[in-house]
Structure 1
């Protein structure tokens, strides 16, 4: 019994010793980190005049140089961090000057060596800085690091560094291919990383949209948002009929937003699509594009089995002026149950919204026209200031005032 008790005491003492050592190490690391941060802040304050010189020299036709004298390693790191920060902010000639200064100062050469080290932490730090300095020769090493990296934030950072550094379209596509293996739903993030490149992305977008890999197509579609690239419209038009449901839906959204005018046969085909998301997007676009010729099609869509299609169709009819509002009134009186319900809901919303501001003459005229139509189909108009119906209003389904 006594040997077991002694062994237990020994184990307890060892655990206490390990805990104490661990606390001391953590405290020492914290003190070291705080000391390093204070020193970096001091160096940044020391180099304030130098940073002012750089900002002035950027606008002048002269070569940028480091401060005179020998710089401590941490002091060089402070200057490098500031240069990377400005490289991200500036473009054109200013950015090129800052990148050239990074090369002449030896920052690029040092981090290329760090990228080849065995220590993971130093590799990751170097990968971030090389991307910030737009270093094309670092791309092969960054690519190998990305292939070995597990899915997570570090993989995203390395991919972003590759996109910023590369000057070859093939490397950019290879990076996308590797990155897309790091997660199932990162197409939006991959598109954002793709647009970090300094190269012209128009050719790349066309190649992605025409690729057989649906993941590449999805990235290309996401990257297309906010990009005015007329050359991709033929490829985008083909994707409107793609077999993959999510690809087709995203292509339709882009196609509708990019096309100033839609052909009647195109509208009819899309409104008959089996995917309700596609039909809903088309119904919404018809109102935004003020396609008054599609009123019969929207009126028919009020009976669609999907509530999003019905809702968007009613909203679009309300945007199409007097003819669209009259189509809503007819649907509210003559339509089926679901058609009547969505039409009346939109009519009341339109009347309340339109009647809140009579300051603009055009708004007042438009409201009066809709009020006359409302009177014709339903009797006395709604009093929108009190949100109650006046006495003697004839509602859909009969007059209950008697």
Structure 2
């Protein structure tokens, strides 16, 4: 009994000692952080003249001078960080001069050596700084680092640095392969990383669209948004019929955003797709392109099992002049179930837009729709538009 009590007492003392050691360690780290912040401010003030000189001579023909005097490690890091900030902000010759300054000052060589550090945190910090300095010579080492690492948020840091530094398309492709091999749904993030490159992005995206790796295709489709590349249309035309659901849906959305001239048979096939995202995208585009010949398809889509397809179809019908609006009125008057609710919502929404029309042609079109409304429902009265965005208990989105 006595021996057990003694062990318990020693255990408590040991726990108290560990707690005290932890508190002292945190206290020391806090003091060191405060001291580092104060020294950083001092060094920024000390080298203010050097920073101003570099800024004023960025557009000149002469090379930028190295930081003056014998510098402490923290002092070098402070100057390096300020130069990296300018590299992110500037383009062209001025950025190239700053990158050369980082090499001449030894900042790049120092961080390449740190990639072999035994401390993981130092390796990640070095990779981040090398990306900021656009150190192309560090790309092979960072690719190996990314390949050997299990996926974590820090993998994004390495991948982004590789994208900033890469000088060849093959390096970017290898970076994507290592980043996406873990099967994580990070295609949007990978596309954002890919666009950090200084290489010709449109040429690279075309290659990725034709790649056999579906992950590369997904990244390219995401990255294509906002990129005006006419050469991509043939690849999109092929991907519209892809077997993989996500690839097909993204390809259809991007294809429709280019305002193509769709054949009737193509529209029918897309409106019958098994993926609701494809059907919804097509239904929305038919109103934006004023495809009045597709009114029967939009009419049938009001009975679609997914609420987004029904809403987009009704919205497009409302945009297709008197004929489309009259179809909505007929369904709202004589239809049933979710198609009637959806049609009635968009009929009321259209009638509630009376004060929004400024141009003469808009007012004329509205008055024609108003006459149709009154033929089916009597004199229009001001009333709030009902919210029936998802009718019938369909929450599959």
Q: In 2 relative to 1, CA 57–8 (structure 1 residues): closer, same or farther, beyond 3 Å?
A: same
* Aligned position for 1:365: 364
Q: How far did 1:128 drift? A: 0.5
Q: Give the superposition deviation at 1:62.
A: 2.6
Structure 2 residue 232 is matched with structure 1 residue 266: no
Distance in 2 (CA, whole Å) between partners of 1:83 and 1:9 is: 57
Where 1:356 maps in the other structure, the secondary structure is helix
What residue is the counterpart of 2:393 in the other structure? none
1:256-314 CA-to-partner distances (Å, cap 9, x unmatched) read 01234323332222112222221111000111222233223222322333332221111
| 1:200-215 matched pairs, under 5 angstroms | 200-215=200-215
User: Unpaired segments of 5 or more residues in structure 1?
Assistant: 389-402
Match of 2:375 in 1: 376
Pairwise mapping of residues 98-113 of structure 1 onto structure 2 (< 5 A)? 98-113=98-113
Mapped to 1, the partners of 2:226 and 2:77 lie a distance apart of 36
Higher relative contact order (Cα pairs below 8 Å, separated by 6+ residues): 2
Instruction: Report what 1:199 is aligned to.
Output: 199
Q: Compared with structure 1, are the counterparts of its residues 303 and 19 closer, same or farther at alpha carbon in structure 2 (3 Å cutoff)? A: closer
Instruction: Check the 8 A contact 1:328/1:343 in 2, yes or no.
Output: yes
The offset of 1:379, in angstroms, is 2.3
Cα separation, partners in 2 of 1:274 and 1:39, compared to 1, 3 Å: same
Output the TM-score relative to the length of structure 2. Answer: 0.91
1:15-59 C-alpha deviation (Å, 9 max, x unpaired): 323322222222112111210111112211222232222222123
Query: Which residue of structure 2 lines up, in the alignment, with residue 51 of structure 1?
Result: 51
Partner of 2:394: none
Answer whether contact 2:164 2:196 (CA < 8 A) is retained. yes
- The equivalent residue for 1:347 is 347
Tell me how far apart the structure 1 counterparts of residues 236 and 351 of structure 2 sit (CA, whole Å): 39
Distance 2:138 2:384 in 1: 67
8 Å CA contact 2:67, 2:105 repeated in 1: no
Between the two proteins, the alignment pairs up a number of residues equal to: 385
Paired position in structure 2 for 1:356:
355
Which structure 2 residues correspond to residues 51-90 of structure 1 after superposition, within 5 A? 51-90=51-90
Q: Which moved more, 1:272-281 or 1:159-168?
A: 272-281
Pairwise CA distance, 1:156: 0.7
Root-mean-square deviation over aligned CA pairs: 2.0
Q: What residue in structure 1 maps to residue 167 of structure 2?
A: 167
Q: TM-score, length-normalised on structure 1?
A: 0.90
Distance 2:156 2:174 in 1: 14
Computing the radius of gyration over CA atoms, which structure comes out larger, 1 or 2?
Answer: 1
Secondary structure, counterpart of 1:78 in structure 2: helix
Q: Equivalent residues in 2 for 1:241-280 (5 A)?
A: 241-280=241-280
Decide which moves more: 114-123 or 238-247: 114-123
d(CA) in 2 for partners of 1:161, 1:168: 14
Shift in CA distance, 100/346, structure 1 to aligned 2, threshold 3 Å: same
For residue 58 of structure 1, give the secondary structure of its aligned residue in structure 2. Answer: coil
- Are the equivalent residues in 2 in contact too, given 1:151–1:183 (CA < 8 A)? no
User: For residues 157 and 268 of structure 1, what CA distance do their matches in structure 2 show?
Assistant: 45
Counterpart-to-counterpart distance in 1, 2:266 and 2:296: 15
CA distance in 1, matches of 2:59, 2:102: 18
CA, structure 1 residues 67+376, in 2 after alignment: closer, same or farther (shift >3 Å)? same
Q: State the shift of 1:226 in Å.
A: 1.2
Farther-moved stretch of structure 1 (230-239 vs 179-188): 179-188
Q: State whether residues 302 and 342 of structure 1, in contact with CA within 8 Å, keep that contact through their aligned partners in structure 2.
A: yes
Equivalent positions of 1:1-400 (< 5 A) are: 1-335=1-335, 337-352=337-352, 354-357=353-356, 359-380=358-379, 382-384=380-382, 387=384
1:337: Cα distance to partner? 4.3
Contiguous gaps of at least 5 residues in structure 2 = 386-397
> Cα distance 1:387–1:210, how it changes in 2: closer, same or farther (>3 A)?
closer
Distance between the aligned counterparts of 1:289 and 1:90, measured in 2? Answer: 40
Change (3 A) 1:62 1:378: same
CA contact (8 A) 1:357 1:363 kept: no
In 1, the alpha carbon distance for the partners of 2:118 and 2:384 equals 73
